[in-house]
Amino acid sequence: MPFLVLFFLCFSSIHNHQYLHNLHVPHGGSDPGKVSTSGIEEKNVNLAIARYLQDYLIAQDYTVFLTRDTDCGLYDENVSNKKRSDLNNRIKFFTEKNADLVISIHQNSYPDQTQHGAQTFYYTGNDNSKALAENIQESLLSIDSTNKRKAKANDSYYLLKHCPSPAVIVECGFLSNPEETERLTDSNYQKNLSYAISIGVCRYMNK
């Protein structure tokens, strides 16, 4: 039974082979993540998209687990460095679930407000993560003809570096771009994004 984690979300599917996937829903609680000029907080957009993605994956016979399904962090309350505690607990979660895949849902930000478009990231040198990122990126391009971004390698992101399973980060768009922020907070666009990500995951899983 496949199992996936989406940032943070985990899911598994009922097929001939057993897979475990996690959906990672970053930020939450006292950590809002990126914040748009209009006050839109990344943590809420991440969770909304992850929930839709969870639904689409379940429809494909995957059992999906979110690292969070409310506005909360995974950090220990009694520690001084809550950010590191949160990240360590997420990695622990992935390890305990023994996930086959981890998908981390994020929103981007940049000083140049014209920057836009979804982009996937994978750990440098990890061929499985690269293949997953490329499949998701190709699918995301189908919903935005102006997006020319490509899956990109990274060797410094904590989650990608320490995750025990093939993992990708999906930056769904730029909260620094007012027009894209409007789309990212629209439920129909969130569903389109989630569906595109699920198609990329399924293509990877079926290869």
Q: Among 49-58, 63-72, 139-148, 187-196, which stretch is predicted with the lowest mean pLDDT?
A: 63-72
Query: What sign has the CA pseudo-torsion 150, 104, 5, 164?
Result: positive
Give residue 19's pLDDT.
46
Write the pLDDT tens digit of every residue in 137-172.
999 999 999 999 999 999 999 889 998 889 999 999
Which three-class secondary structure state does DSSP give residue 55? Answer: helix
Token pair in block for residue 146: 């102006």
pLDDT at 11 over 90: no
- Give the residue carrying structure tokens 């994004």: 193
Domain span holding position 88? 4-205
Q: What does the buried/exposed string (b/e) look like for 150-175 if buried means 16 or more CB atoms within 10 Å of the residue's CB? A: ebeeeeebebbeebebbbbbbbbbbb
CATH code for the domain in which residue 66 is found: 3.40.630.40
Of 90, 173, 169, 93, the closest CA to residue 124 belongs to: 169
| pTM score over 0.85 | yes
Write the pLDDT tens digit of every residue in 36-45.
999 999 999 9
Query: What sign has the CA pseudo-torsion 98, 103, 107, 108?
Result: positive
- Specify whether the CB–CB gap between 24 and 7 falls below 8 A: yes
